[in-house]
Amino acid sequence: MNADKNALEVFVIVAQTRNFRLAAEQLGVTRPAISQSLRRLEDRLNLTLMQRTTRSVQLTEAGQRLYAEVAPAINQLNRAVTDIAELAAEPRGQLRLAISSIAERMLGGKLLASFITAYPQVELYITVTDEEFDIVGQGYDAGVRLGEVIAQDMIAVPVSTAQRQVAVASPRLSGSRRHAATSSGSGQSSLHRLAKRAWSGPLSLGVCRAGTRV
């Protein structure tokens, strides 16, 4: 026979206040609702839990035993709900992030410092890695990655504007046919592998001289 949690909470509040009116005000209900709830609880248990008069409310022996068992649990449940509700007003607890080295350079420093200042109750743990792995499966709360390497089943929101990737070379290298020919060998192959791993689109190469692309 299971007693309703709400009925037990009503019983605990009445036992603590020893007053139906105060209990009703504390719970935000009417006095008749308090009486009906206690009556249903007593009927379900087939026991009298309280002796009621116009001037006082006294616990019976059964009521005292029930209060001793139930009150700590009800109070603990209410504290737990209150503590969790406070998270909506002020985030707190641990936040584990896995970010790429590029994201660290782009978003680190001032941005992370401003986050810590805005949310002092959050303990921030950051792992910088370029490895591709299951962020949730490894126990992280969130990650910062390039858009092209985010798994399709992940919920993603942009944290920056679109970024351009630029390949650069010294004037000596870019202006020399001999070096250009050399670049078409192993160097280009390495660049191609990098492009395939980190970017899904084509890689556009060009040469800039005096600030003008040629």
Q: What is the pLDDT of residues 146-187, one digit of tens each?
A: 766 666 777 777 777 776 766 666 666 655 555 444 444 444
How many domains does the chain fold into? 2
Range list of β-strands (E), the chain: 50-52, 57-59, 93-99, 122-128, 142-144, 208-209, 212-213
> Is position 128 within any domain?
yes
The last residue of one of the domains, among 88, 114, 139, is 88
Tell me: do 44 and 111 sit in the same domain: no
Residue given tokens 């680190």 in the structure block? 108
pLDDT at 31 over 80: yes
Distance, in Å, from the CA atom of 61 to the CA atom of 72, rounded to the nearest integer, reads 18
Same domain, 80 and 96: no
Instruction: Verify that 50 and 146 share a domain, yes or no.
Output: no
208-209/50-52 β-pairing:
unpaired
Asked if residue 189 belongs to a domain, the reply is: no
| Predicted confidence (pLDDT) at residue 65 exceeds the cutoff of 90 | yes
Residue 177 lies in a domain: no
Distance CA 94, CA 125 (A): 7
Is residue 48 in a domain?
yes
Closest listed residue to residue 68, CA positions, set 55, 49, 83: 49
Residue 190 lies in a domain: no
Two structure tokens written together for 63:
């009521």
Are residue 135 and residue 149 in the same domain, yes or no? yes
**CA geometry: angle at 76 spanning 121 and 28, to 5°?**
95
The answer to whether the CB of 6 falls within 8 A of the CB of 13 is no
Decide: 47 and 109 in contact? Cβ < 8 Å: no
- The answer to whether the CB of 17 falls within 8 A of the CB of 26 is yes
Mean pLDDT for the stretch of residues 26-47: 92
Which residues 6+ apart lie within 8 Å of 70 measured at CB?
8, 11, 12
The verdict on residue 174 lying in a domain is: no
Q: What is the pLDDT of residue 172?
A: 67
Asked if residue 118 and residue 208 are part of one domain, the reply reads: yes
Contact 13, 26 (CB under 8 A): yes
Query: pTM of whole model > 0.75?
Result: no
CATH of the domain at 160: 3.40.190.10
Claim to verify: residue 24 and residue 54 sit in the same structural domain: yes
Structure tokens at 109: 């420093």
Same domain, 103 and 32: no
Sign of CA dihedral 100, 102, 107, 108: positive
124 within a domain of the structure (yes/no): yes
Each residue's pLDDT tens digit, 85-126: 777 777 888 899 888 888 787 776 777 788 888 888 888 888
Q: According to the model, what pLDDT value does residue 199 have?
A: 45
CATH number at residue 21: 1.10.10.10
- 60 and 136 share one domain: no
How far apart are alpha carbons 161 and 185 in whole angstroms? 34
Range of the domain at 154: 91-165+203-213
Specify whether 101 is located in the same domain as 51: no
The least confident of 3-17, 78-92, 136-150, 172-186 is: 172-186
With respect to residue 39, please indicate whether it lies within any of the assigned structural domains. yes
Residue that terminates a domain, selected from 64, 88, 112: 88
